[in-house]
Structure 1
Amino acid sequence: MIAKRTGRLVVLAALPAAMFLTVGLSAPALAADGNAYQIDLEQLNNSGSRGTAMLSIKGNQLTVQIESEGMVPGQPSAQHLHGSTNGHDFHCPDASDDTNADGVLSNTEATVDYGNINISLTTSGDTLATSGLAVDRMPVADKQGKLSYKRTLTVSKDVVDHIKDLHIVQHGIDRNKNDKYDFDGAGASELDPKLPQEATAPTNCGMVMGASVGSIPVGGIETGGGTPQSSAMPAALAGSAAAVSVAVVGAVVVVRRRRALAAVRTESLGSAA
């Protein structure tokens, strides 16, 4: 019985590492001063796109690793870290944010929820917000619509301190299902009329999970325009890694109590004999 209980504890203790083994991403090896955060990317615009991302921080070095699928085959995907490093609260949008009811959640409509670009996740060159539409430096999905990305960036202390308040958004949809971005699918982009709306509309979005929860918003929820609006703060999601740790500690306490009770019973039986 003791061997079986020990085995259960080993499985529970292994859960935090197993959390990172989704969609092809492995748990990063970090030094004592490092932190890692998981992001699950969920579809927007009924794109069918999903994925997993890891944000790993060591000092002022941020490593971003993304594995996603359901992207438009052979097409570049603009991708960014959106949000605030000033303590304001943002979150991923949903279909209800399609305010003009045209059936497409545009980037402008979604920005109210997920905030402005903080870092452009380009494959080379700068990562400034102004490179948000640098599609020639964005990763390209393969023929199966799968996209892999990894890059280490030097970031500011504000980004390090507020990394849990930033979200990953990937862009690019195929509304008319012809495996390319074109103007027939959803017209021209509101960001650049030379680009199809399909190229700039968000395809998925994910918020940081794991060891930390979002910071308390300053002045309520901030819109993408930058002016905080008075609003109740949404309930913070407890980190799943913390929850697993609590479960492990709880399991250890239960086992120890059971062993202590068993010892007392054995001693009592011996005295009675």
Structure 2
Amino acid sequence: MSKRTGRLAALAALPAAVLLTVAGSSPALAEEDTPAYQIDLEQLNDSGSKGTVLLSARGTELTVWIKSEGMVPGQPSAQHLHGSTEGHDFVCPDDSADTDGDGILNNTEATVHYGDINIALTVSGDTDAATSGLAVDRMPVADAEGKIAYKRTIPVSQDVIDHIKDLHVVQHGIDRNGNDKYDFEGAGKSELDPTLPQEATAPTNCGEVKGAAVGSVPVGGIETGGGATGAGMSPGVMIGAAGAASVMVAGVLFAVRRRTVSGSAAVETGGAA
């Protein structure tokens, strides 16, 4: 009996240690009361851009992870939380929002649907909508393959935390003439700032919060486009690893419990241990 008990204890301890290792690398993973929300970014302006966002709130601090692709290679992408903290219902627009029929959904046309900028998701400095909404020099830059990986924890108001499900993530920047840069020949001047090309400010994707907490946030974080760095793993892989570890632990503990009960029954009925 003592040998079997020792083996079962060792078996139960091994996956538990694995889970603790996974959770220990991210304090947020270990805290069940930390709400996390997922957003799937879908293309606008036929940009081909897509991505995933995770939002994690702790007190009045919000951590934002973004992984996107199909961006303009080597170019900065203005990105924001859009929407209302006063209960107004905004949504991501579709092609019908191009009200002037010029074939480009500009930011003014889209704002009617996804709301004004609430927070500018810069890589450094302030995140105020008024001062940093068009701070292109502090926005993440797509790599040579058109991918952006971003992580930043920022202080926000309690209203943002209370209405996080009413906010959307929008990334901006399109390449209408396919020359891998923002230029005035592609679509003319931006209606927001005539010193900027329309390509630089037109929305490339948009995503809405998909519902309640998704269970966990990425372990260790991901590399940012010009900000702090992390492990570089995709959010899906990170969540999958933690979930698999949890399932493994639960399965082993169930097996241990079952074998222990079976062994006890054998002893009580005179069976061999």
Q: TM-score range by the shorter chain?
A: 0.5 to 0.7
Return the letter of the residue paired with 2:198. Answer: Q
SS of the aligned residue for 1:41 comes to strand
Q: Normalized per residue, which structure has more helix? A: 2
CA offset at residue 30 of structure 1?
5.1
Hey, what does 1:99 align to over in structure 2? 99
Assess, with a 3 A threshold, how the Cα gap between structure 1 residues 30 and 202 changes in structure 2: closer, same or farther: farther
Percent of counterpart pairs with the same letter? Answer: 75
Q: Per-residue deviation at 1:59?
A: 1.1
How far apart are the structure 1 equivalents of 2:61 and 2:40? Answer: 21
Matched-pair contact (CA < 8 Å) for 1:50–1:204: yes
Q: Would you say the 8 A contact 1:45–1:104 is kept in 2?
A: yes
- Work out whether 1:183 is the aligned partner of 2:188: no
SS in 2 for 1:192: coil
- Equivalent in the alignment of 1:154: 155
Counterpart secondary structure, 1:209: coil
- Residue ranges of structure 1 left out of the alignment (5+ in a row): 1-25, 213-273
Deviation at 1:32, TM superposition (A): 3.1
1:180-218 deviations in Å (ceiling 9; x for gaps): 000011000000000000000000000001317xxxxxx
TM-score scaled by structure 1?
A: 0.67
Instruction: Please state whether the residue corresponding to 2:209 is helix, strand or coil.
Output: strand
Q: Deviations over 1:111-158 (max 9, x none)?
A: 000000000000000000011100000000000000010000111110
Is 1:203 matched with 2:204? yes
CA distance in 1, matches of 2:63, 2:47: 26
2-structure distance, mates of 1:201, 1:93 = 13
The equivalent residue for 1:163 is 164
Report the AA paired with residue 150 of structure 2.
Answer: Y
| Worse-superposed segment, 30-39 or 140-149 | 30-39
Aligned residue identity for 2:117: I
Task: Tell me, yes or no, if structure 1 residue 79 matches structure 2 residue 79.
Answer: yes
Distance 1:85 1:30, change over 3 A: farther
Q: What's the TM-score, normalizing by structure 2?
A: 0.67
Q: Which has the larger radius of gyration?
A: 2
Q: Gaps spanning 5+ residues in structure 2: where? A: 1-25, 214-273
Give the ranges of 4+ consecutive aligned residues of structure 1 lying more than 2 Å apart after TM superposition.
none
* Residue deviations 1:11-52 (CA, integer Å, cap 9, x gap): xxxxxxxxxxxxxxx9x6152321000000000000000000
Contact 2:65/2:152, CA 8 A, preserved across alignment: yes
How far, CA to CA, are the matches of 2:135 and 2:82 in structure 1? 16
Q: Within 1, Cα distance between the matches of 2:112 and 2:30?
A: 34
Answer whether contact 2:81 2:120 (CA < 8 A) is retained: yes
Q: How many residues align?
A: 186
